[in-house]
């Protein structure tokens, strides 16, 4: 379980993250357009960024005050940068540190058949696959995956979804997405929305395909969030009153359309 309370992160005198109170009790998805703060949130939870103030609690441990080995793993690339280290050596070091099964990890890594021997020379998709596989196989209580399907071929997307489901049976997984269509792979997961550094939720992922977005605060709203200084409501069975989320492939489209008042 992850608890966040009064979290604020500021870069260059600009507030990029502002979360009053959120609890991730189950396997969860954070859905938001690019630039909404998803990566910043993941980096803040795992300790790569330090918030101005607030509480980050993971399985009862205050992560701002304490550091607990093998509590969390992540696919954030900067957590894997060891200058001058070959890919195979990096995998061995990580598997040793996080008690991964080296043979199982190598089997999954073989799907991409990387040509480069050095991690930093891999393509964006290859790096994403390597870091995500290592994070999933790490012997941790929680794994946080930032856009794990980004830059992957379609058949790797399907394989990765299978591996995430397997891992989610033994530990909690939090992953970020910007593509709505991928939610069909995780219909029973909790879903949070993220816009402009703030989190809203949760609902179940399967509900998204029956929900419409309307401008303003609707009394029957499942969820209310803010974009561009305006309130928007998610409503069930809107009967054409708003934009059906099932028709929006990417939240960036919704974000852009909101600038025009739909």
Q: pLDDT tens digits, residue range 86-101? A: 889 999 999 999 999 8
Separation CA 23–CA 72 (nearest Å): 16
Parallel, antiparallel or unpaired: strands 190-195 and 61-62: unpaired
141, 171 in Cβ contact below 8 A?
A: yes
pLDDT at 240: 63
β-bridge partners, 191 = 29, 203
pLDDT of residue 124 exceeding 80: yes
pLDDT at 258: 57
pLDDT of residue 28 exceeding 90: yes
Average pLDDT, the chain: 89
pLDDT at 1: 93
pLDDT of residue 260 exceeding 80: no
126, 143 in Cβ contact below 8 A?
A: no
Edge-first strand order for the sheet with 172-177 is: 72-74, 142-146, 172-177, 28-31, 190-195, 198-204
Name the percent of the chain lying above pLDDT 90.
51
What is the torsional sign of CA 108, 113, 119, 122? Answer: negative
pLDDT at 99: 92
Once rounded to an integer, what is the mean pLDDT over residues 157-183?
A: 94
Spatial neighbors of 22 by CB under 8 A, at least 6 apart, are 3, 4, 192, 199, 201
Parallel, antiparallel or unpaired: strands 14-24 and 28-31: unpaired
β-bridge partners, 8 = 18, 53
Where do the domains of the chain lie, and which CATH numbers do they carry?
2-259 (3.40.50.300)
Separation CA 136–CA 156 (nearest Å): 15
């Amino acid at each position: 379980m992850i608890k966040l309370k009064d979290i604020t992160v500021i870069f260059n005198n600009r507030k990029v993250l502002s979360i009053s109170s959120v609890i991730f009790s189950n396997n969860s998805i954070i859905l938001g357009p690019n630039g909404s703060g998803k990566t910043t949130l993941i980096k803040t939870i795992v300790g790569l960024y330090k918030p101005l103030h607030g509480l980050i609690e993971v399985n009862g441990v205050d992560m701002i005050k304490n550091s607990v080995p093998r509590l969390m793993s992540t696919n954030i690339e900067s957590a894997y940068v060891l200058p001058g280290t070959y890919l195979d050596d990096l995998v061995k070091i990580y598997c040793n540190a996080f008690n991964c099964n080296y043979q199982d990890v190598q089997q999954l890594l073989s799907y991409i058949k990387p040509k480069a021997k050095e991690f930093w020379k891999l393509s964006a998709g290859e790096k994403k696959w390597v870091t995500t596989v290592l994070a999933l196989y790490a012997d941790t209580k929680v794994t946080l995956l930032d856009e794990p399907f980004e830059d992957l071929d379609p058949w790797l997307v399907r394989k990765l979804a299978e591996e995430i489901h397997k891992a989610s049976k033994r530990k909690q997984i939090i992953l970020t997405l910007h593509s709505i269509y991928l939610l069909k792979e995780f219909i029973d997961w909790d879903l949070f929305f993220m816009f402009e550094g703030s989190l809203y939720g949760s609902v179940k992922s399967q509900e998204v395909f029956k929900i419409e977005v309307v401008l303003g605060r609707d009394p029957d709203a499942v969820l209310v969030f803010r974009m561009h200084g305006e309130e928007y409501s998610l409503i069930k069975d809107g009967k054409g009153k708003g934009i059906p989320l099932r028709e929006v492939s990417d939240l960036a489209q919704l974000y852009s359309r909101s600038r025009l008042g739909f």
